Structure 1
Amino acid sequence: MRWMRRLAAAGVLLGSCLAVGTAALADNYPSRPIRLLHGFAAGGAADTLSRIIADGLSKKLGQPIIVEAKPGAGGNIAADAIAKAAPDGYTLGLVTGAHAISAATYKSLSYQPAESFDMISTLVYYALVIAVRNDYPAKSLGDLIAMAKEKPGSLSFGSVGFGSTHHLAGELLNATAGIEIVHVPYRGDAQSVTALLGGEVPVIVGTPVLLAPQIQSGAIRGLAVTSPTRTALLPDVPTVQEAGIKGYDVRTWAGLLAPKGIPPAIVAALNSATLEVLGDPELKQRLETAVGGEVRGSSPEEMKKLIATEISKWSGVVERAKIPKI
């Protein structure tokens, strides 16, 4: 039985060494610059949020955080790059609600939205805006719905891409209002706004941060925001529910994650740093002003549960709306 006691002692020693090694790794982390990837075009909400949170975390962690955009496929290109990166804490990702939607809209993915990542924390929740050009005949969401019912399939709406929250917000409007407005994907908010102003599409679903200046200048009219309550960034734009579409509620979110397998001590360190940064009044105001939303941090476990809940919700929308998967 002596060999069993020796084996047990060796196991305890190995566990102690691993614990000390992990703690030492966390103590030395980070020792070089960190990359923060996101999957949308420069200038949009994800890019703006990435740069604000990178600024706060960089000061907190004492290392530069380099924001890198990999737009396309509703954020899937960036998510794939994050999932395949080394799990050492030096590649992080900022994802939005589209991260969970991808599981509902794609037949297969090269990664699993929940299982291929270690979650860090949610950051902010915010609404979207349904908008038209200012000279468009529809002066309200009710007008737009009436036009769509009169000629089903004759209208189109632009979004930041297939499988984005913007896309599903439009499809949910179709399903709940009993209309058929055809989706047209673009590579980012800026391209969809350009398409709207150029007359390529009559309607877009976009983010308040990008549309607010155009709405305030009079070039674009905001018909409705997708949350149950109005957004502080566009207080004069009514909600979809105010237009009579009861129960309609689409709020996207942003959060931080990392490739699966980074040391738990680094996950804990990043979560702690993120929550401290979100608690800073100045940075909190910058984030909320940028998207007209609400800052809300979380534990890694809470973020993972959110993604699972969102996958279930949007899978139901895709099924009800009979959206073909790609």
Structure 2
Amino acid sequence: MYGRIIGAVCAAALAGAAGAAYPERPIQLIHGFGAGGNADTVSRLVARHLQAALGQPVVVEIKSGAGGVVASSYVAKAEPDGYTLVMLTGGHTVSAAVNKSLPYDPVADFQPISTVTAFPFVVSVKADNPARTLADLLGTARAKPGTVSFSSVGVGSTQHLTGELLAATAGVQMLHVPYRGGAAPVQAVLAGDVDVLVNTATVAAPQLKAGTMRALAITSSRPWPLLPGVPVAADTVPGFQVYSWLGIAAPAGTPGPVVDRLHAALAAMLQDPAFRKAVNDIGSEPSGSSPAQMRTMIESEITRWKKVVQQANIAAN
């Protein structure tokens, strides 16, 4: 008994010492999406602030593929020492909902540290579309089931499931038309090939400002500063609300003192005016959490998206 007690005390002391010394070498921040995209842009902002706070280089590395699964798998299998971190996105929970199996457990294999940003989606149509409001659009979908189409960046993407959730909550049928990402969904709506764009404010804003597209609703719980005057979808479809997010996690088993050090650095970053402005400028808002809150959010989002997958009869990969 005494041996176990002494062992536990020694382990705690070593963990504390590791936390005090951490970091002693460069840190990798991994994400699984394209250069210049939302995840990449925010990762580089975070890396810059963590580097200043921790006194060691923080290097952003892209391991793209399978909607973030390649990056997440890499970090889940990394040494849990705080030197390999991952920028998780809302796609992390969507992947868990649409894949029959993953090379990692989306909850148990990660140590959440903090969310860093949150952002809604915009429901938009081409400027000459007869629908002037979300109610108009849903009215058409209700009268002619399956004739109103919406684009996304791919089957099983967050944009896809957001469109399916909107249709299910409103009690209508809409036709999903997937694209491979990039500018293709926007171009499809502008060309008149698809009726509705469901995408981030960052993607939609240039077309909305140019007057080539019109925003019908934002999926946030309140009006979004980047798009003043655009109503929230819940005004038309009560209870409908979708945010996506970005957040930092480490491999499961990362020592508590290391997690605490990283969380404190991120919490300070989220209050920094320069970081907040940079995030606002790309259509998001700073949004922090405790490690426990981030874990709970991931669990609840997986549950929600699994229900959407079932309701929409989306074939699991």
- State the TM-score, normalized to the length of structure 1: 0.86
- What is the aligned residue count? 317
- Answer yes or no: is the 8 Å Cα contact 1:96–1:254 preserved in 2: yes
2:117·2:284 contact (CA, 8 Å) conserved in 1?
A: no
Q: Which residue of 1 aligns with 2:200?
A: 207
Query: Secondary structure of 1:304's match?
Result: helix
Question: Contact 1:44–1:188 at 8 Å: present in 2 too?
Answer: no
Q: Does 1:303 align with 2:300?
A: no
Q: Tell me the residue number matched to 1:261.
A: 253
Q: Are residues 1:319 and 2:287 paired?
A: no
- Alpha-carbon separation, structure 2, partners of 1:13 and 1:318: 50
- Aligned CA RMSD, in angstroms, stands at 2.5
Shift of 1:113: 1.3
Letter in 1 for 2:262: L
User: Is 1:73 equivalent to 2:83 in the alignment?
Assistant: no
Find out whether 1:163 has 2:117 as its counterpart. no
Aligned mate of 2:48, from 44, 49, 55: 55
Residue matched to 2:120: 127
Q: Aligned residue for 2:29?
A: 36
Counterpart of 1:173 in structure 2 is 166
- Separation (CA, whole Å) in 2 of partners of 1:292 and 1:12: 48
The match for 1:96 among 82, 89, 104 is: 89
Match of 1:87 among 80, 85, 89: 80
CA-CA distance at 1:77 after TM superposition: 2.8
C-alpha separation between the residues in 1 aligned to 2:222 and 2:63? 32
Contact 2:149 2:176 in 1 (8 A): yes
Change (3 A) 1:67 1:136: farther
Larger deviation, residues 271-280 vs 160-169: 160-169
2:282 partner SS: helix
Q: Deviations over 1:11-65 (max 9, x none)?
A: 4554444334323322332233322222333333323322222221121112232
Deviation at 1:304, TM superposition (A): 0.9
**Over residues 251-299 of structure 1, what are the superposed CA-to-partner deviations in whole Å (9 max), with x where a residue is unaligned?**
2222111112222221111111111111223312322342343x23222
Q: Compared with structure 1, are the counterparts of its residues 182 and 79 closer, same or farther at alpha carbon in structure 2 (3 Å cutoff)?
A: farther
Shift of the 36–137 alpha-carbon distance from structure 1 to 2, 3 Å rule, reads farther
Q: Is the 8 A contact 1:159 1:189 kept in 2?
A: no
Quick check: 1:92–1:257 contact (8 Å CA) kept in 2? yes
Give the letter aligned to residue 62 of structure 1: G
Contact 1:74 1:162 in 2 (8 A): no
Aligned-pair distance for 1:231? 0.4
Amino acid at match of 2:168: A
Asked if the contact 2:28–2:83 (Cα under 8 Å) also holds between the matched residues in 1, the reply is: yes
TM-score relative to the length of structure 2: 0.88
Unmatched segments (≥5 aa) in structure 1: none
**Counterparts of residues 275-290 of structure 1 (less than 5 Å):** 275-290=267-282
Confirm or deny: 8 A CA contact 1:119 1:258 kept in the other structure. Answer: yes
Q: Which residue among 180, 186, 199 is the counterpart of 1:193?
A: 186
Aligned equivalents of 2:90 and 2:117: distance in 1?
A: 11
How far apart in 2 are the matches of 1:43 and 1:88?
28
